[in-house]
Amino acid sequence: MPHTIIEKLWNSHLVEEQPGAPALLFIDLHLVHEVTSPQAFQGLRERGLKVRRPDLTIATADHSIPTTDRSLPIVDQIAAKQLAQLETNCAEFGIRCLGVHSDRQGIVHVIGPELGLTQPGMTVVCGDSHTATHGAFGALAFGIGTSEVENVLASQCLLQLKSKTFEVKVEGTLRRGVSAKDIILALIAKIGVGGGTGCVFEFTGSAIRALSMDERMTVCNMSIEGGARAGLIAPDDTTFEYLCGRPHAPKGAAWDAAMARWKQLPTDSGAIYDRQVTIDANALEPMITYGTNPGMGMPINAPLPEPAEVTDPMARDSIAKALAYMGLEGGKPLAGHAIDVVFIGSCTNSRISDLRAAASVLKGRKVNPKLRVLVVPGSQEVKRQAIAEGLSDIFLAAGCEWRDAGCSMCIAMNGDQLAPGEYSVSTSNRNFEGRQGKGGRTFLASPLTAAASAITGVVTDVRTLL
């Protein structure tokens, strides 16, 4: 019987299936960070348990870490305590921690792939909903809560109910100025933030095959914003080229054996998905969100929706409430709307190709002096590479802030935040009320759109600057 890659991953990780209980799945890689782990380690202590497989577990500090000078003490004492707790917990339980001062520190979803830890055919979990990022390698990767973090630390297993399979087929060629971020924003705008609930996405089609690994990670990263706990892409030569030579990637004969396994992963022809949707890449335009969830997105030159035109009363109220929070008026254009901050970073768009894209627009130009523009690399490695390529010089010459690696203004836990009422164009993944700072207002877009808007000071279609 033909199987999808999702079913193959599921079947190959089944430890046990007992009547009356969900399946017990083995987890190949557990990523840990400071925010969702302390209560789990405490739980282990209270039960007198050890970490079963420290060799399949790795920690880093990303959410509450400052992106300013790391040689200085951390001002926020609560964050400092949480970061110190991570180091203590990892030392006590024998877990490797790429902490505040590690030269491999970075956003958990940037460093896993970068180190070659994320590999095709794996199950990957983390107490973070953007774990779907790792699906770009043909892994089944999903976010878990803190109780589940504790379960995995203790047993390296998770009880899971089987998800439905959902093929997202993206065919065609992206036009100039349109990028991976626009694919995923378009999908979420089409199916809504609950559209993939209960499902795992598999992204297929010529437009997906044409993407680099960095771009594939951008697409898979925001699966959760479409309601799907995981999203993945079958591995191919692009995947293998990315992995070859990475620190933890297999070497020599082990590489050949791994390649033979990985090539068995793609969905068999004739396999049937529970659901399917198709997106025409040729017709895509740069996307932007206007509201307070990632499903409230549209092509950048479209008019804002009119609540009065929505028939369902609760949906109408939701749009009206979102527009009120955002200080926007239905029917008007969003392009040209003044902004205060541009944020280029996050687990969605902080990799080297994202920084290259932003730099390609900013090169030889200046950002609007009224704006604050933050460029936050996803990891120390991305930071080093960007410096080596001269990208940091481009950002600094343009008038951007070039900061240290972390989640930064995506989640605004570390002091990098919007002031109440401020508008940002942000390459991050969530535009929820207050996500980037209490009262802050977020327009989600691609690094190209963010860079273009940084120059003009208003929401800008990058194609006008290319």
Figure out which of the listed residues 138, 143, 297, 345 binds other proteins, where binding follows CB under 8 A.
143
| 412 binds other proteins, rule: CB under 8 A | yes
| 275 binds other proteins, rule: CB under 8 A | no
CB 288 within 8 A of CB 445: yes
Residue ranges in 6-65 that form contacts with other proteins under rule CB under 8 A: 15-16, 20-22, 24, 26, 28-29, 35-36, 38-39, 42, 47, 53-58, 63-64
| Pairs from 460-465 (Cβ < 8 Å, separation ≥ 24) | 460/335, 460/336, 461/177, 461/286, 461/300, 461/301, 461/335, 462/177, 462/286, 462/361, 463/176, 463/177, 463/286, 465/361
| 68 binds other proteins, rule: CB under 8 A | no
| 191 binds other proteins, rule: CB under 8 A | no
How far is Cα of residue 333 from the mean position of the Cα atoms in its chain?
Answer: 28
Question: Whose Cβ is closer to other proteins: residue 283's or residue 419's?
Answer: 419
CB 251 within 8 A of CB 225: no
| 78 binds other proteins, rule: CB under 8 A | yes
Which phi and psi (to 5°) does residue 287 adopt? -105, 155
| 390 binds other proteins, rule: CB under 8 A | no
| 180 binds other proteins, rule: CB under 8 A | no
What tokens appear for 117 in the block? 């830890």
Number of Cβ within 10 Å of residue 46's Cβ equals 9
Figure out which of the listed residues 3, 68, 154, 238 binds other proteins, where binding follows CB under 8 A.
154
Question: Whose Cβ is closer to other proteins: residue 58's or residue 445's?
Answer: 58
Residue ranges in 220-259 that form contacts with other proteins under rule CB under 8 A: 224, 227, 229, 247-248, 250, 254, 258
Figure out which of the listed residues 68, 87, 102, 155 binds other proteins, where binding follows CB under 8 A.
155
Q: How many residues at the interface with other proteins, by CB under 8 A?
A: 83
Residues 6+ apart with CB under 8 A from 465: 361, 452, 455
CB of 40 to other proteins, least distance (A): 9
Q: Which stretch binds other proteins (CB under 8 A): 72-80, 348-356, 393-401, 442-450?
A: 72-80
CB of 255 to other proteins, least distance (A): 10
Figure out which of the listed residues 3, 70, 96, 162 binds other proteins, where binding follows CB under 8 A.
96
Strands (E), 269-428: 275-280, 287-289, 297-299, 341-344, 372-375, 401-402, 423-426
- Map tokens 């200085």 to a residue: 72
DSSP state of 340: S
Residue ranges in 301-330 that form contacts with other proteins under rule CB under 8 A: 314-315, 317-318, 321
Give the C-alpha separation, 175 to 193, whole Å: 26
